[in-house]
Structure 1
Amino acid sequence: MSYGLQFTNNNNTVVLDSEYARLMVISSGRFAPTEEGGLGSTTYFARPVTSQEPPLVFVRPDTVGAIAGLCQMRLIGSAGNWTGFYVRAYNALTAQPNGRYFVSAFGAQYVAQYGLRIWDGANNLLFDSGTTNANFTRSFQNWTFVKYETGDQGLVTNYYTVPFNFPENEYMLINSFGMPMNSGSGIPRQLACLWDFPHNTLYAITAATSNPIAFYLPAVFAKQAV
């Protein structure tokens, strides 16, 4: 920092700085089935996210005695007015979409009635004392290929996994699991994520007409600051 305001903790780590934005939690709550016979879930944020870039949505499905699978995530709204998100259960054999979420952006919003606000030199709001921050905890890109299955429609489903221990307070970034991946053919690979609670295993799965084994999508996790 060359000028402005800066806070550090006991370890001399910068926690607030008037030049750099932090990942701030704009809204949090629960998602639940709302449509499609309990398979689809549309959630609206308590307040719109006013960032120009799409906000980051982190989810933590409820721990159940089954597999919780989520796919087809998409944001609702547009630049400057992101109002919610949609997500769908993987299929009728997986748990319905129930769990907790928070949506975040790099920069704060006007929330607190009193307290502290920090702007940068370009008058962008970086911090509002009514807005909690989020901390990235870990990420995985070293997925291990497990197996593949060929369905009745000829689609090839690949299963990948990473070691994971399902902490209750750690949320997974779900935005990337709404983006199709290149498959080397005209039909892209569709993505889903499975939390296999009975076997304590996290899976990423892809489905496409072709069968490319390579998979490098990062799985990113974060916690809300207490």
Structure 2
Amino acid sequence: MEIHQIPSPNCGPRRDGLIPRFVVLHYTAMKSAEAAIARLCDPTHEVSAHYVICKTGRVSQLVSEGLRAWHAGAGEWHGLRDINSRSIGIELDNDGQGPFAEALMQSLEALLAQMLNAWDIPPENVIGHSDMAPGRKFDPGPWFDWPRLEAQGLAGQRGSTPGPKDAQLTQFTVRARSAGYTMNTDPETLLAAVRLRYRGFKTGPIEPQDFTPLAPFAI
């Protein structure tokens, strides 16, 4: 796979000797991949990512995987913070309003396979921005095809333990925390974040089906 190098100045060393243990997926929410790259390379914006994948499948690397890109911001996953120092960030050329292009998905799959192997990252550690920052971030959003990655071993497998018939948000919060959603947030926001990952466009009161995909998480 050809990777185009477009260095961004918005990066630095990973803190405390940390190495990549997670991959965080984003969408660009911009007019084009080129516009996103320009922003991610502009020092006045102080944001970046390791990679940007265009709708055409073109992959651009902005930051070396060994360095800390500024893509995740405030958040928490499985009790861990400073996700920037613990992760590799991939921006996907999509506005959040429709499906992700086939060429983009193929390049993402190839890049993830290479990356997980190189850093010995388990598929369970491939997460969305919305997973680690519930309510603050919503990408890669309800259109992203998580089951496609799961089927190829490029994202964690869904759980199979059903929820109680009289599902309650307090019970759901306990299950979600054990699955890695440890960011301090209200139960309704937490439910919305989990649905973004596992149930796409689902809204309304909590249901037993909201519990099922949440498998206990282990780093």
TM-score category (smaller protein): under 0.3
**Bigger strand share:** 1
Q: What TM-score do you get using the length of structure 1 for normalisation?
A: 0.25
Q: What TM-score do you get using the length of structure 2 for normalisation?
A: 0.25
**Bigger helix share:** 2
